Amino acid sequence: MQTKLLRTVLLCTVAGATLVTPALAQDDPFSDYVPVTEEMLNNPDDSDWLTFRRTRNHWGFSPLDQINGDNVDELRMVWALGMESGGWESVPLVYDGIMFIPQPGDVVVAVDATTGDTIWQYRRELPPDIMDYDPFGLHNLTRTLAIEGERIVFDSADGFLIALDVRTGQVVWETQLHDFRSSSNWASAGPVIIGGKVLTNRSCTIHGGPESCFIAAHDLESGEEMWRTYTIPRPGEPGDESWGDVPYESRLHIGSWMPPSYDPELNLVYYGTSVTTPYPKFLVGGDVQDGEYLYQTSTLAIDPDTGEIVWYYQHLRDHWDIDHPFGRILVDTVVSPDPEDVAWISPNVTPGQERQVVTGIPGKTGVIYTLDRATGEFLWARSTTPQNVVIGFDPDGRVQTNPDLIITEAGQEVPVCGGYVRNWPEGAYSPETNTMYFGLTRPTCVMTSFDDDGPALDATNPDIIFYYLVGSWHQRNPGRVITEELIGPQDDNAGYVYAVDASTGETSWVLGTGDAPVRSLVATAGGLLFGGTTDRRFYAISQETGDIVWETILGAGISGYPVSYEVDGRQFIAVGVAGPDRNSIYAFALPE
């Protein structure tokens, strides 16, 4: 669908939100708009990018192949668009030639995907005191939007779920999820739509208490809440016993702050969760020191119709802030882990058997986990970079955590190695190579400890816990890096791209990216992997060899999630960057 810039706009205020909407124009870009269906979300057209990772299986793969290794050197920037300043880790959605972009400060804009010309813009008026409740600036992060029917849906920074008219950007409905002043949680993931329900998950903080950590579903047509599932079990619920005698009000901070993946055949949606607070469990009190503290650092397989947790798998019993909320990749593949590359293989694995698996690197350790996605059964796991946190697995697949690293008293020092090599940037999977690609940072060891020279500890007081979490754990004692001593000499690369076979677990290749960490990746059927680094470089990499085959320098460090789409037979690659004063999105294509 070709569109033209609509230069005449009207300003109006609706439900506390300032909107910039287009006046009627002769060329209406939505004149032949076809509402997005559930089937389109499950099986998107090759030309579109309708969800966070294009497909709900979280592949980050585009079947477009117009841009390939033979012509990628001709790739040129065709348009750029300045955006709002602030934290920006977002992905644009593209449907039928129109791009919908979430921006910091609750701004959503629709643009012509071939030119970047604005069609409409929505801008919400946020409460002036919002930063008083969000010292980390999480309210500025919205990683994705959701589209279905004639609705664009997003989570607002002030605790509302909002549906916009896809044609105009005007508010259709809004419903309050929580009071941000008392619950202290943020929707940095953004929503997904499954079966007519809008699912949202939260990045909850300490001051909100246990009930600020939840996943909820709302009706797409009305905004009415359908169900709410808490990621910290309430008294009497399954998992409550994993906290021992820790009071319910002292169970804090198990968030889920990345978009999930979804299997429509099994009707299961897969969420990852973060650590509980405080990290060193001796501060929590109670009689459980090496307990599960559910549902921290876990994969949750949830029925989207009811909110029921069908199964869970815990990747780590965490004492060190090693979150596991990142993307879960869903693949049907032969499971034949190679013992030379895969350290931990379930005795129940029959090599050569095809399985439906959920796989990838879900957490900061850089450990790949492969599970049966119908049951959560552990199949195999392996480290990518050196680490000393995960040391083995029981025969039933329960992870063995290094007991020497558990902090049991103030002043104790422990060397935590390789615990922060993965973060929010997403990897990709290519069905052409049956290979997963991950951007990781250089592994280090950090000597960590906890000092208690502040106010008297009180596990029921979030202000006291916050003091120790931010003050003692991070600021006053940030750790001594002792990389050389504990994990051997390192090269000069600050970042790497790892290519790992999804069937065997074998490392296909590793690419060092120099002085800067790698951001998110997208794979294409043209045999390429697109991604960039924080030092402004944007690459095309050969999926087969790991060689950089094209490179350009942009105006700021790569921060957004790249996408690939097609309009009128022309393939585009787009990516966002975050600068100190302004963010931008760039689109590339071959010459016409």
The per-residue pLDDT for range 12-51, each reduced to its tens digit, is 434 444 454 453 344 789 989 999 999 999 999 999 999 9
**Conformational region of residue 195, where left means phi above 0, alpha means psi within -120 to 50, and beta covers everything else:** left
pLDDT at position 24:
39
Helix (H) or strand (E) holding 483: helix 483-487
Its pTM stands at 0.92
Judged by DSSP in three states, 446 sits in strand
β pairing state of 61-62 and 518-524: parallel
pLDDT at position 474:
41
Rounded Cα distance between 315 and 7, Å, is: 52
DSSP for 160-198, written as a single string: EEEEEETTT--EEEEEE---HHHH-EE--S--EEETTEE
Question: pLDDT for 451-488, tens place per residue?
Answer: 655 555 555 565 655 545 544 444 334 445 555 566 66
Q: How many CB atoms lie within 10 A of CB 164?
A: 26
Question: What are the distances in angstroms from CA 216 to CA 219, 399, 415?
Answer: 10, 29, 38
pLDDT at position 454:
56
Beta pairing partners, 588: 77, 573
pLDDT at position 464:
55
Helix (H) or strand (E) holding 41: helix 38-42
- In the chain, DSSP finds a helix count (H) and a strand count (E) of 4, 44
Contact between residue 232 and residue 275 where contact means Cβ atoms under 8 Å apart: no
Judged by DSSP in three states, 471 sits in helix
Nearest C-alpha neighbor of 382 from the set 436, 340, 343 = 343
Contacts of 26 (CB under 8 A, 6+ apart): none
The residue type of 222 is: S
| Length of the chain counted residue by residue | 592
Low-confidence ranges of the chain (pLDDT < 70): 1-26, 135-139, 285-290, 451-490
pLDDT at position 25:
42
Beta pairing partners, 175: 161
The tokens of 353 are what?
């058997």
The tokens of 453 are what?
């020279």
